[in-house]
A and B are shown apart, each in its own frame.
Chain A
Amino acid sequence: MSNIDQKDVEHIAGLARIKVNTKEKENLAKNLSDILNYVDKLKEVDTEGVEPIAHITGLEDVLRKDEIVGVFSEIEPESLVEQAPSSDKDNYVKVKSVFEDKK
């Protein structure tokens, strides 16, 4: 039995940067427990010596040169930076301060 309680939900929500209110915590604890109990049936399957899937048709180590190609050669950087909620004239995206004063 996998049981997710509201404390677990809070912890996961913190990791995932998801805000949850009390009602959502209750619902998520139940939903996630239900789903985890359902997927627990995989424990019945013997996977001793089985290689996990990496790429389903078997492609390996696909590389290309680090060059601007295809559609990207037609894009003006400004048009991408403009999509940010805050930017300056030098094409930098502005964010809130990353380091905060200790209170």
Chain B
Amino acid sequence: MDIKKLTIKSARETLDKKEITGKELHGEFLKLIKKENSKLNAFLSIHEDYKKVVDTGDILEDIPAAIKDNMLIAGSKCTAASKILENYIAPYDATVVSKLKKSGAVFMGKTNLDEFAMGSTTENSAFGPTLNPHDHKRVAGGSSGGSAAAVAAGLAVYALGSDTGGSIRNPASFSGVVGLKPTYGVVSRHGLIAMASSLDQIGPITKNVEDAAIVLNKIAGHDPLDSTSSPRAVPDYTASLGKSIEGLRVAVPKEFFGEGLDPDINNTVQKAISRLESLGAHVDQVSLPMTDYALAVYYIIVPSEISANMARYDGIRYGRSAHNKSKSLLDVYLDSRAEGLGEEVRRRIMLGTYVLSAGYYDAYYLKAQKVRALIKRDFDKIFEKFDVIVGPTVPTVAPKLGELDDPLAAYLADIYTVQINLAGVPAISVPCGEVDMDGSKMPVGMQIIGKHFDEEKVLQVAHAYEQNK
């Protein structure tokens, strides 16, 4: 048995046939992680003890999972890849974690990310970048780069990530795995360290589409502790898998194939779209006219919400503190934040503070929320006539380490993903081919977007493509 290749289904079969016990499987993964993590830096902490809360008979029982290090597991470190939380021990479980525990899941550890999930390469992690398993000179993507690399390298069967503007889909595309960002509100964020609260959403990173549906079944649902979570009933997300996509209407926005898109990515994604057509889908070109403004909206709303959410890191109640060496209360704030927060985090706090400061609110935040309404309207219009929208997930393959050192250039990598969060709709990235880059075969992802709460259609199309590519 090659444990690197295990999916949830195949791991379940192996366990059910008693070829291996849950404890032994944990041990095998632990050995593998210890061997490979020193290079990849996918895990920030490793859970050495086999801990299972209950015997459940559930499909996820004893299946080794990895959790992004911005979700709390009671009694374990949760750093958000920031020095300010370097020694922070989570006092309770995030709702997604307690749900997985109730399924009998086993956690292998916490995965690397850009500090507080701010970035798209994991290079903003205070503890070093995660390397791409396909080429160690390249990044794994971000911000959920550790989760994507762990799954791509087979160091966990599946992982959880969080996605504010592409942080699940971008590393999934760069690392050659499946990443699903559900509709805003489908999964509770209670116990997720907040970045931009009107956009943040948790979702699965997996080796195939079926596993993504299986994990979503377990983590979705209303939670009184997250007031933004949806009260809708949770469907069986695996039910639509295997259904034909004949007659489904697929929209391809012309703006997703414009300037900045790498020609090799263009070819690869176009081929994948032709495949959908040969499977019976009706493909038509459409326009998302606000695409050009989406990044601008995103980079107003996100820093604004960050500047509010990051105010809690003040060196007073928890986390790294300069309390013992600072003279005044103000110095405690200033010194704790100077020692604890990285460059990109401070830049975003500063930007958010500026655009929310007296006299600027209307021109920036309010204007951005209005343009956001127009972006949502674009999507609504398309979904009146179409079932899904498809296109590339990111405009390039995984960049080399250090390649995106200019902040604005780095933001441009998010061009196809941020709109989806702004509109609150669900989207998946599925591997759709490889491109030769300096002797390495680098994965390419296709993004499939659905309307609010229509994860089933997104998964159906992704699965049909994956099974017939």
Q: Which residues of A contact B (CB under 8 A)?
A: 4, 8-9, 12-13, 15-19, 28, 31-32, 34-36, 38-45, 47, 50-57, 59, 62-64, 69-72, 74-75, 79-80, 83-86, 93, 95-98, 100
Contacts and interface: CB of A to CB of B under 8 A. Distances in A.
17 contacts: A8-B354, A19-B334, A19-B337, A19-B338, A28-B350, A31-B407, A38-B295, A42-B296, A45-B293, A45-B371, A51-B373, A52-B372, A57-B185, A57-B230, A70-B190, A85-B323, A86-B324
B270 interface: no
A47 B371 contact: yes
Interface stretch (B4-12, B120-128, B361-369): B361-369
Contacts, number: 179
B317 interface: yes
Contacts of A59: 185, 227-228, 230
Contacts of A38: 295-296, 299, 408
B242 interface: no
A86 B350 contact: no
Contacts of B93: 71
B354 A12 contact: yes
A18 B373 contact: no
A75 B296 contact: no
B286 interface: no
A34 B91 contact: no
B454 to A, nearest CB: 12
A35 B298 CA distance: 11
A55 B334 contact: no
Contacts of A52: 366, 369-370, 372-373
Interface in B75-116: 88-89, 91-93, 95, 98
Given A16-B307, A35-B351, A70-B224, A83 B334 contact: no
B93 to A, nearest CB: 6
- Which 6 pairs, one residue from A and one from B, show the smallest C-beta to C-beta distance? A56-B424, A52-B369, A83-B318, A47-B370, A85-B321, A85-B323
Interface string B5-26: 0000000000000000000000
Contact of B349 (A16, A44, A45): A16
Contacts of B346: 18
B337 A18 contact: yes
B89 A83 contact: yes
Nearest to B324: A85
Given A16-B350, A71-B92, A85-B321, A45 B337 contact: no
Interface stretch (B40-48, B162-170, B207-215, B325-333): B325-333
